[in-house]
C-alpha cells in the first residue's frame, strides 16, 4: 500500500466545491485528487482562486492547444463578438466559416475534392460521420476498436470500447457496431510481441500483416460480419483515452487496404490527436495514409466549443455523387459559429507558424528525457507518444510488467489517482489514461523550460512512489 493523502482543500475552495456538488452533475473526471477551482489561466499556467499557480500538463484534455487565453485568440474572439455572435451555417453565409473550411481542406491530406461540416463537439462528429457513411454506402454495419473513446452520444458511446460504465444502463445501443483489436503492443491482446508477431504473416497491401488486424479479417469478417455490409471503420490513429497508444507503422496501412478492398469508408477520429499535436497537422500523416474523413474538435478553437468533419466531397454533395447526403439530410443550429470560426482561424495560424514545430521539438525532448528516466526507475513500464501526445505506463516492476493492483492506498485509490494528487500537490496538473498510464498533453506552446520543470516534478513523484513499494 502507498501512504498517500488527497490534497488539502482550502476553505474558500471547499465552499465552491460544496456549492458545485449541490447543483452540478459530477462528471467522471472531477476527482478529489485535483480540487482545482480556476480563477484565470495564461499560456501553460492556471491560477486558482487562492492565487496558487499550476503548470498545466493536460491542456484540459488537449483543448487549450495554443495555451490558455492566447492574446491573438482572445482578440479575434472579441473582434468577432462585436460584429455578430451567431450565423447558422445551415441557414445563411459567413465568410469566417468559408475561410476556415478552405483552410481545413487545404491542410487535410488527399487530392480528391473535400468538404467540411461543422458539428459543435467531438461526439457530434461521430454522429455525423456514422450517418454519412451509412447513407452513402447503404450498408448497416460499422467497425471500431477495443480501447477506443469516441464520446457520449449514442454513436460516440456505441463506438467506444473503453469503459463499461460509459455504456452501462443505456442499452440498447446502436445495432451492428462491432469492436476489434487495437494494437496495444505493450500489453498485446493476443499475447504476442511486436515486431516478432509479423514473422510468418503474409504480405498484405504492401506491408506485413499484423495478427491483431488478421483477427478482423479472419475472425470477424469470416464469422460475424460480411465486409461488404460494412459502411465504415472508425479509428483513432493514436488511441487517446485508451492509453495514448501509438500503433505500429503497418496498422493504418492495413486498415486503408482493407477499406479499399471492400469499399469501406475509413474515418479517422483525430479529435484528440489532430491539428498539430503530434508535430504534423494530422496523426495519420505519420503513417502515410489518407483517410476518407477526418474528425477534429477539442483544440481546434483553443477552448471555444467547435468541431469539424473534413470528408471527401462525394459523401456530402449530391452534385458530386448521387449517393451523397441529400440536401438537408444532416445539419444543426450552432455549427460554424462565427466567434468559434474566428478563434479556430487564429488557432490554426498560430499552430502553423510556431506551435506545430514546438510540439515536435519539446515533445521529442520530453520523450527522450522520460526514456532516460525509465532506465533509472523501475515503475515506468513504457514510454510512448508522438509530439506532445505522450503517455507513460506505471507498473509495479518494469522487468515483469506486473501491473499495480487496482487499489494502491488503504482508501481504495488507484495508481493514476495517486499520481494525479501527488502532481497537484506539487503544482502540476496531470491526468491519467488507459488502465495505468499518465498522459502528457500540454498546450502546444509549452517551452522547454516548462517541460523541464514538469519532468523534475514527475521524477520526484516516481522516486517517492518507489520508496513506498
Ligand atoms: C478521440 C475522441 N473522440 C471523441 C471525443 C468526444 O469529444 P466531446 O467530448 O467533445 O464530445 C473525445 C473526447 O475525449 C476523444 O478523445
Per-residue confidence in pLDDT tens, the chain, 469 aa = 999 999 999 999 999 999 998 899 876 567 889 999 999 999 999 999 999 999 999 999 999 999 999 999 999 999 999 999 999 999 999 999 999 999 999 999 999 999 999 999 999 999 999 999 999 999 999 999 999 999 999 999 999 999 999 999 999 999 999 999 999 999 999 999 999 999 999 999 999 999 999 999 999 999 999 999 999 999 999 999 999 999 999 999 999 999 999 999 999 999 999 999 999 999 999 999 999 999 999 999 999 999 999 999 999 999 999 999 998 999 999 999 999 999 999 999 999 999 999 999 999 999 999 999 999 999 999 999 999 999 999 999 999 999 999 999 999 999 999 999 999 999 999 999 999 999 999 999 999 999 999 999 999 999 999 998 8
Q: Whose CA is nearest to atom 7 of ligand 1?
A: 122
Atom of ligand 1 nearest to the CA of 61: 14
DSSP 9-59: --HHHHHHHHHHHHHS---TT--TT----EEEEEBTEEEETTS-EEEESSH
Please, which residues have CB within 8 angstroms of residue 24's CB and are 6 or more apart in sequence?
none
Separation CA 64–CA 40 (nearest Å): 13
Q: Cell for 48? A: 486558482
Eight-state DSSP code of residue 302 = B
Cβ of residue 240 lying under 6 Å from some atom of ligand 1: yes
- CA 192: distance to chain centroid? 26
Separation CA 86–CA 99 (nearest Å): 16
Determine the residue of 27, 156, 239 to mutate for testing ligand 1's pocket, defined as the one with the most ligand atoms within 8 A of the Cβ atom: 156
Cβ of residue 306 lying under 6 Å from some atom of ligand 1: no
pLDDT at 29: 63
Eight-state DSSP code of residue 234 = E
Distance between Cα 104 and ligand 1 center (Å): 19
Please, which residues have CB within 8 angstroms of residue 60's CB and are 6 or more apart in sequence?
303
Cβ of residue 13 lying under 6 Å from some atom of ligand 1: no
Q: Cell for 3? A: 501512504
Distance between Cα 133 and ligand 1 center (Å): 19
Cβ atoms of 345 and 100 within 8 Å: the answer is yes
Cis omega (within 30 of 0) on the bond before 171? no
Domains of the chain as residue ranges with CATH: 11-70+354-468 (3.90.1150.10), 74-350 (3.40.640.10)
Q: Which of 357, 362, 400 is nearest to 378 (CA)?
A: 400
Q: Whose CA is nearest to atom 6 of ligand 1?
A: 151
Q: Is 224 helix (H, G, I), strand (E, B) or coil?
A: helix
Computed on alpha carbons and rounded to an integer, the radius of gyration of the chain in Å comes to: 22
Torsion of CA 23, 24, 30, 36, to 10 degrees: -70
Eight-state DSSP code of residue 166 = G
* Model pLDDT for residues 295-354, shown as the tens digit of each residue: 999 999 999 999 999 999 999 999 999 999 998 999 999 999 999 999 999 999 999 999
Separation CA 125–CA 205 (nearest Å): 29
Distance between Cα 305 and ligand 1 center (Å): 12
Separation CA 316–CA 326 (nearest Å): 8
Amino acid at each position: 500500500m502507498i501512504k498517500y493523502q488527497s490534497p488539502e482543500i482550502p476553505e474558500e475552495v471547499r465552499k465552491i466545491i460544496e456549492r458545485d456538488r449541490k447543483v452540478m452533475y459530477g462528471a467522471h473526471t472531477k476527482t478529489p485528487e485535483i480540487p482545482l477551482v480556476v480563477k484565470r489561466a495564461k499560456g501553460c499556467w492556471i491560477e486558482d482562486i487562492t492565487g496558487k499557480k499550476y503548470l498545466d500538463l493536460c491542456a484540459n484534455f488537449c483543448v487549450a492547444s495554443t495555451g490558455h487565453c492566447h492574446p491573438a485568440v482572445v482578440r479575434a474572439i472579441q473582434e468577432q463578438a462585436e460584429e455578430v455572435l451567431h450565423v447558422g451555417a445551415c441557414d445563411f453565409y459567413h465568410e469566417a466559416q468559408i475561410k476556415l473550411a478552405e483552410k481545413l481542406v487545404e491542410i487535410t491530406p488527399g487530392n480528391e475534392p473535400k468538404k467540411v461540416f461543422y458539428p459543435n463537439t467531438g461526439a457530434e462528429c461521430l454522429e455525423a460521420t456514422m450517418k454519412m457513411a451509412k447513407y452513402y454506402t447503404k450498408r448497416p454495419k460499422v467497425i471500431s476498436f477495443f480501447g477506443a473513446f469516441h464520446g457520449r452520444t449514442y454513436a460516440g458511446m456505441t463506438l467506444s470500447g473503453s469503459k463499461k460504465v460509459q455504456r452501462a444502463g443505456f442499452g440498447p445501443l446502436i445495432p451492428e457496431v462491432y469492436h476489434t483489436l487495437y494494437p496495444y503492443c505493450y500489453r498485446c491482446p493476443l499475447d504476442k510481441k511486436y515486431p516478432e508477431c509479423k514473422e510468418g504473416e503474409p504480405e498484405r497491401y504492401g506491408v506485413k500483416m499484423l495478427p491483431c488486424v488478421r483477427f478482423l479479417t479472419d475472425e470477424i469478417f469470416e464469422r460475424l460480419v460480411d465486409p461488404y455490409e460494412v459502411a465504415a471503420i472508425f479509428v483513432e490513429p493514436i488511441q487517446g483515452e485508451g492509453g495514448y497508444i501509438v500503433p505500429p507503422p503497418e496498422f493504418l496501412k492495413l486498415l486503408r487496404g482493407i477499406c479499399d478492398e471492400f469499399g469501406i469508408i475509413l474515418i479517422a477520429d483525430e479529435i484528440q490527436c489532430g491539428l498539430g499535436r503530434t508535430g504534423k497537422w494530422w496523426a495519420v500523416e505519420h503513417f502515410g495514409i489518407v483517410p476518407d474523413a477526418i474528425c477534429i474538435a477539442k483544440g481546434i478553437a483553443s477552448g471555444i466549443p467547435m468541431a469539424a468533419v473534413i470528408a471527401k466531397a462525394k459523401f456530402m454533395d449530391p452534385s458530386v455523387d448521387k449517393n451523397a447526403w441529400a440536401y438537408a439530410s444532416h445539419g444543426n443550429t450552432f455549427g460554424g459559429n462565427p466567434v468559434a470560426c474566428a478563434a479556430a482561424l487564429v488557432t490554426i495560424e498560430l499552430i502553423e507558424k510556431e506551435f506545430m514545430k514546438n510540439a515536435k521539438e519539446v515533445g521529442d525532448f520530453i520523450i527522450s528525457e522520460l526514456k532516460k528516466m525509465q532506465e533509472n526507475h523501475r515503475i515506468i513500464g513504457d514510454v510512448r507518444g508522438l509530439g506532445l501526445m505522450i503517455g507513460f505506463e506505471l507498473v509495479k516492476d518494469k522487468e515483469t510488467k506486473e501491473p499495480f493492483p487496482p487499489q494502491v492506498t488503504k482508501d481504495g485509490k488507484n495508481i493514476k489517482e495517486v499520481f494525479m494528487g501527488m502532481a497537484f500537490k506539487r503544482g502540476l496538473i496531470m491526468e491519467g489514461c488507459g488502465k495505468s498510464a499518465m498522459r502528457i498533453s500540454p498546450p502546444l506552446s509549452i517551452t522547454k523550460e516548462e517541460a523541464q520543470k514538469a519532468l523534475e516534478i514527475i521524477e520526484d513523484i516516481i522516486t517517492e512512489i518507489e520508496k513506498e513499494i
